[in-house]
Structure 1
Amino acid sequence: MLDRIDTSPQFIGNILFSDETTFYLSGFVNRHNVRIWGSQNPHVYREHIRDSPKLNVWCGLMKDRIIGPFFFGEATAYGSVYLHMLEQFLYPQVADLQPNIIFQQDGASPHWGLDVPRPLNATIQDRWTGRGGPIRWPPHSPDLTPLDFFLWVYVKDRVFVTPVNDFPDLRARILETIATVPMDMLERTWQEIEYRLDIVRATNGANVKIY
């Protein structure tokens, strides 16, 4: 992937990053999985209510837009559920951007089961990156994924600033927060991605912590 970025400066600007996260109705935020970056008002950790009802959410992130959110109806996003989201929600929204976008997904198990790569190859062909994809993506690299180091932290900091009443309230807060992300934040996020890729180059891909 770095070779493509080095030979084609516009490559990084064409990447559609994607990721899912879980919102717990209790307000619990898993700070181990969500990297903190750009949070101006870190809030007090909330007690995790065991077996709290949860909502799984997907988003796509580009340099100039956010695609989503998409709310999964199931508690767990299996491969068939994820594929349905791609076919019914994502593909229609990016049809006008083809063949320029590069679709990125991480190595989560729903993303690389037999249900998903074949349709991806048929629809996006050689323009997707992730486990088993035609463009290699470094495994276990949430620090390179802007939804992990920026978007989900930004959204959860604002959604859970006060207790959530119920699922309709939770969905409404997520929708409003994502719809109002300032465009200059996306631009600065892409600058941050380029900085992080520079670190990857300088360390020859070694595992490092970025703060």
Structure 2
Amino acid sequence: MDVSMLRIINKYPPMKGAVMAFSKQDKAFCVLQFAKTESWTCVQCAFCRKFKKEAPERKSIVRWHAKFVKDGCLCPSKRTGRPLTSEDAVEQVRTAFQRSPRKSVRRASRELQLAPATAWRVLRKRLQMVPYKLKLVQKLKDTDKPLCRDFCIAMQEKLEDNGFDDRLVFSDEATFHLNGKVNKHNTRIWGTENPHELLEHERDSPKVNVFCAISKKGVFGPFFFEEATITGESYLNMLEDWLIAQLEEAESDDFIFQQDGAPPHWSLRVRQFLNTRLPGRWIGRSGRGEDVLMPWPPRSPDLTPCDFFLWGFVKQQVYLLPLPRDIDELKARVTAVVGTIDVKMLEHVWQEMDYRLDVCCVTNIAHIEQL
């Protein structure tokens, strides 16, 4: 190495403790120079003259040249990564879960001597399986099915009459607790660190009982009961003093009122009031000789729009975090959410009700709450 080369190289001495990052252009220049001169010192000298910065080390120049000769490029080598799971292991996982679909991933991994992460990856990515959750539904008695089937058939026949669906008014009550029910599986707080946020759950928290009636034209309510438990007397007072007057003013003169078979609705005074005020124009649990349009089948929450649409929609919006601080705020939220329901939404709800009646008849009265 001559003195001029030493002067050039020493002019850009390496920085102690620094790790130089060289671009593709830098590496290509070094490879071309090394191919011409076959001298790493000449490459360093030319590099310093051209780029006015510290030259790469000898081993880097040699390694880049060798890689270019071998691979024809200076691109990083593809990493091997995690070894693929064998087809035999995939087939074992498939067989295990076809035989026992409710088996846990940990138990299957122990039986097959696979890592839990491997078993999970095979299920999700290789076999395209999804872990579905069980749904709890109300147990139906043998006597419930023929009653429900008869109701669905009779309702479908009446819906064929022009304007019958416009006359229907469905009703129901629901309880709203102040602390609500937060679904931990759907609630996530994204961040780079765990915020360790807690949500305090209060047992027997303050609650309010809410009544709503829903027709194809709009929602009547909410009505908030002052009592902690709805009785036949409080329910009758609500009908006499609040609901029926609104229905007679907003709906047609021949509207049809529906209620389910809850204990307050079964009160003798309530049924006498409906027989007198709405003869032949109410649907509900009834006794012999009562002037009811159709008896409501027991344990049929999947047929009323209040159950399959209204309460789920309202509670989903009401219990968004942060939760209501007191009963007044809870009532305000319920009222605001109910006010967002428009006629277009109700048209889709009525179409869904018609569809559910069809499904009940076709499936011989199967559970359809999850539709």
Q: Give TM-score scaled by structure 2 length.
A: 0.50
Larger RCO, structure (CA 8 Å, separation 6 or more): 1
More helix by share: 2
Q: SS at the partner of 1:68?
A: strand
Contact 1:144 1:197 in 2 (8 A): yes
Name the structure with the higher strand share: 1
Q: 1:104 aligns with which of 249, 252, 258?
A: 258
- Cα distance in structure 1, aligned partners of 2:325 and 2:284: 37
2:173 to 10, 20, 23: 20
2:312 maps to what in 1?
153
Alpha-carbon RMSD across the aligned residues, in angstroms, is 2.2
Between the aligned partners of 2:279 and 2:201, the Cα distance in structure 1 is: 42
Q: In the alignment, which residue of structure 2 is the partner of 1:37?
A: none
* Unaligned 5+ runs, structure 2: 1-150, 189-198
Name the residue aligned to 1:36.
none
Task: Show CA shifts across 1:27-78 (max 9, x none).
Answer: 137x9xxxxxxxxxx9549775211110000000001110010000000010
What secondary structure sits across from 1:121 in the alignment? helix
How big is the shift at 1:6? Answer: 1.3
Q: Is the 8 A contact 2:261 2:296 kept in 1?
A: no
Counterpart contact for 1:25–1:54, Cα < 8 Å: yes
2:246 is equivalent to residue 93 of structure 1: yes
CA distance in 2, matches of 1:28, 1:181: 22
Does the 8 Å contact 2:284/2:295 carry over to 1? yes
Pairing of 1:27-176 with structure 2 (within 5 A): 27-28=180-181, 43-44=186-187, 48-96=201-249, 97-132=251-286, 134=292, 135-162=294-321, 163-176=323-336
- Matched position secondary structure for 2:295: coil
Identity, in percent, stands at: 45
Q: Which residue of 2 aligns with 1:35?
A: none
Measure, in 2, the Cα distance between the counterparts of 1:124 and 1:98. 13
Aligned residue in 1 for 2:27: none
Answer yes or no: is the 8 Å Cα contact 1:5–1:12 preserved in 2.
no
Contact 1:104 1:130 in 2 (8 A): yes
2:302·2:367 contact (CA, 8 Å) conserved in 1?
Answer: no
Q: TM-score, normalised by structure 1?
A: 0.86
Q: Is 1:183 aligned to 2:343, yes or no? A: yes
C-alpha distance in 1 between matches for 2:304 and 2:348: 14
Instruction: Say which is worse superposed, 42-51 or 54-63, in terms of deviation.
Output: 42-51
| Number of aligned residue pairs | 199
Q: CA deviation at 1:12?
A: 2.8
Change (3 A) 1:183 1:43: farther
Give 5+ residue unaligned stretches, structure 1.
Answer: 32-41
Amino acid in the other structure paired with 2:230: A
Distance (whole Å) between structure 2 residues aligned to residue 100 and residue 91 of structure 1: 12
Could you say if the C-alpha distance between residues 50 and 178 of structure 1 is closer, same or farther in structure 2, counting changes exceeding 3 Å?
same
Deviation at 1:182, TM superposition (A): 2.9
1:147-194 deviation line (CA, Å, top 9, x unaligned) = 111111111111110211111111111111101113211110000000
